């Protein structure tokens, strides 16, 4: 799995183009940062220069334009997630019969590993797409706040409660399914009923990871290690 992180060394519009190319997603599916900046933020900036303050109506226009952009991103994200869920379900259901010959199983395992890796890469691209769009939203809102008399959240405090992008927790079920699939390909039997705290030693190593690369790290981990979820009723010390 490759890193999809793109250092912001250029104008943000160019950054979006590079990020789209790395994720193999059309740039037209991303937040139209350039249009929001040119059509909405520029009007606020010009009004502030002329009158010392920008009319609140311009912030409402910006909010409506941003709303449309976020809805389009969510529509694409949910469509792609549905497609990937179907692929994942088919991959798990079509796992080869283990009663086949050794060479047949070996060949089938190699093919399934390739398919699992390709699917994992698609999940990486989708989560990177979401992270980049979240960054675009944060940046364009900050530009609004820089030139508006009131911040975006002061004007629209519930906006992001009703319009949320998917986040990494939206993929917990898929991560677990892929983890189990990789474990089966390794010939491991992952006992999900293992008693929490039995022969278990907690160790923590902290790393700073770019949001675009979070799923990349997760995919590398589940390729090699099983994933366990701590039950809600597990003892606090475990």
Position 8 scores a pLDDT of: 55
d(CA 189, CA 56): 61
Task: From residue 140, give the alpha-carbon distance in Å to each of 92, 110, 136.
Answer: 41, 45, 6
d(CA 15, CA 184): 39
Residue 233 included in any domain: no
Task: From residue 96, give the alpha-carbon distance in Å to each of 113, 205, 222.
Answer: 12, 37, 21
d(CA 164, CA 146): 23
Cite the DSSP H helix spans in 24-99. 33-36, 42-51, 56-93
Check whether 170 has a pLDDT greater than 80.
yes
Residue 110 included in any domain: yes
Position 236 scores a pLDDT of: 53
Task: From residue 71, give the alpha-carbon distance in Å to each of 33, 74, 76, 136, 163.
Answer: 14, 5, 9, 14, 8
Confirm whether pTM is higher than 0.75: yes
d(CA 16, CA 12): 6
Residue 106 included in any domain: yes
Residue 38 included in any domain: yes
pLDDT tens-digit readout, 7-51 = 555 688 988 999 999 899 999 999 999 999 999 999 999 999 998
Position 238 scores a pLDDT of: 46
Kindly report the number of other CB atoms within 10 A of residue 201's CB atom: 5
CA 202 to chain centre: 27
Position 99 scores a pLDDT of: 45
Q: What is the DSSP code string of 161-227? A: HHS----GGGGHHHHHHHHHHHHHHTT----TTPPTTTT-----------GGGHHHHHHHHHHHS--
Position 7 scores a pLDDT of: 53
Residue 2 included in any domain: no
Q: How many folded domains does the chain comprise?
A: 1
Residue 152 included in any domain: yes
Give the range among 76-80, 177-181, 223-227 with minimum mean pLDDT. 223-227
Question: Which residues have CB under 8 Å from 225's CB, separation 6+?
Answer: none
**Domain of residue 183, residue span:** 12-192+200-224
Residue 174 included in any domain: yes
Mean pLDDT of all residues in 140-160: 96
Q: Among candidates 198, 191, 196, which has minimal Cα distance to 234?
A: 196
pLDDT tens-digit readout, 81-107 = 999 999 999 998 876 544 454 444 555
Mean pLDDT of all residues in 141-164: 95
């Amino acid at each position: 799995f490759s890193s999809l992180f793109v250092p912001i060394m250029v104008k943000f519009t160019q950054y979006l183009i590079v990020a789209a190319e790395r994720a193999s997603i059309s740039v037209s599916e991303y937040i139209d940062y350039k249009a929001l900046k040119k059509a909405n933020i520029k009007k606020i900036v010009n009004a502030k220069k002329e009158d010392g303050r920008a009319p609140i109506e311009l912030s409402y226009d910006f909010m409506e334009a941003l709303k449309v952009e976020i809805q389009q991103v969510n529509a694409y994200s949910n469509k792609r997630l549905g497609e990937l869920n179907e692929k994942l379900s088919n991959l798990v259901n079509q796992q080869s019969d283990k009663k086949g010959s050794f060479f047949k199983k070996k060949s089938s395992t190699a093919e399934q590993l390739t398919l699992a890796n390709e699917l994992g890469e698609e999940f990486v691209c989708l989560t990177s797409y979401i992270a980049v769009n979240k960054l675009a939203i944060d940046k364009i809102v900050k530009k609004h706040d820089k030139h508006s008399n009131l911040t975006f959240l002061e004007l629209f405090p519930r906006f992001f409660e009703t319009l949320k992008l998917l986040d990494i927790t939206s993929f917990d079920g898929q991560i677990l399914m892929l983890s189990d699939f990789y474990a089966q390909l390794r010939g491991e039997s992952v006992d999900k009923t293992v008693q929490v705290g039995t022969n278990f030693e907690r160790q923590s190593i902290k790393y700073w990871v770019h949001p675009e690369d979070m799923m990349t790290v997760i995919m590398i981990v589940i390729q090699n290690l099983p994933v366990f979820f701590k039950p809600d009723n597990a003892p606090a010390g475990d």
